Amino acid sequence: MGPELVFENLTLGYDRHPAIHHLNAVIDAGSLTAIVGPNGAGKSTLLKGIANVLAPYEGKIVVGGEKVHRVAYLPQQSEIDRSFPVAVEDMVAMGLWRRIGAFRSPRSNETKKVTAALAAVGLTGFERRAIGSLSGGQLQRMLFARLLLQDASLVLLDEPFAAIDTKTAADLIRLIKIWHSESRTIVAVLHDFDQVHAHFPQTLLLARELVAFGTPSSTLTESNLARARQLCEAFDDRAEVCRRGEAA
């Protein structure tokens, strides 16, 4: 199917200091890929770059040869303001914004899509609950319902199984596999190597630079993991300031 993501000499960072540098890799369309690495390896930074939340300092990201609106992005739960007074169904309906705009209320057929998405993640009956009242697992189900409505061909998931119960994780993995069967490209940041081996055929090991990329068994070797730890431990926060290049 060809490439969905191409990283060309990619450098991303914050305050003009690199978090990822000189990354070159290709992720094929329709693939299911786990991004792994030590804390501080740049995994979440890479997803933000793909989602166009963060502009490259150097190099570029090519997303399927088309516009970034094809991307659906699930941030970490810690980035969600749970104190914001919004109901579950309204938060899920935000997945329709690209089609209906930010200021028009959903029509009857669109409301049915919201109801169906909530049913697909096991949240029927939670429509009017405030998001601040949800457990971690319920919140993640709600965010997956919003992803369903975005109907994107490229789905980015930042630690989708963190701080949730086993049953919710299993249900969300089943949903991810459905997306994969529909030829969508899934890229997920993960920490649990058992989940990676069990469910993700392709693995990119990152430690501010590319360490290895391939099957889980060929990537998550003791020598590769040791090198990843060494690279992150050796990183100096006072590293030379990046030169900002053209944004992708």
Which pLDDT score is estimated for 60? 94
- Secondary structure of residue 5 in the 3-state scheme: strand
User: Which residues are within 8 A (CB) of 11 and not within 5 positions of it... i.e. 6 or more apart?
Assistant: 18, 20, 21, 22, 23, 56, 57, 58, 59, 242, 245
Strands (E), 71-217: 71-74, 154-158, 185-189, 202-206, 210-214
pLDDT averaged over the chain? 89
Q: Please check the confidence at residue 225 and state whether its pLDDT lies above 90.
A: yes
User: Is residue 247 very low, low, confident or very high in pLDDT (cuts 50, 70, 90)?
Assistant: very low
The predicted model gives 67-75 an average pLDDT of 76
Which pLDDT score is estimated for 237? 52
Give the architecture (CATH level 2) of 3-234: 3-Layer(aba) Sandwich (3.40)
Question: Using an 8 Å Cβ cutoff, are 58 and 11 in contact?
Answer: yes
Which pLDDT score is estimated for 16? 79
CA atoms within 13 A on the CB side of 177: 12
Question: Using an 8 Å Cβ cutoff, are 1 and 28 in contact?
Answer: yes
- Nearest 5°: the CA angle 159, 204, 193 is 55
Question: Mind listing the pLDDT tens digit for each residue in 9-62?
Answer: 999 999 878 899 999 999 999 999 999 999 999 999 999 999 999 999 999 999
Which pLDDT score is estimated for 241? 39
User: Is residue 66 very low, low, confident or very high in pLDDT (cuts 50, 70, 90)?
Assistant: low
Which pLDDT score is estimated for 102? 54
The predicted model gives 186-206 an average pLDDT of 97
Q: Please check the confidence at residue 238 and state whether its pLDDT lies above 50.
A: no
How many angstroms separate the CA atoms of 9 and 163, rounded? 34
Question: Mind listing the pLDDT tens digit for each residue in 80-109?
Answer: 888 888 999 999 998 887 666 555 566 667
Which pLDDT score is estimated for 29? 93
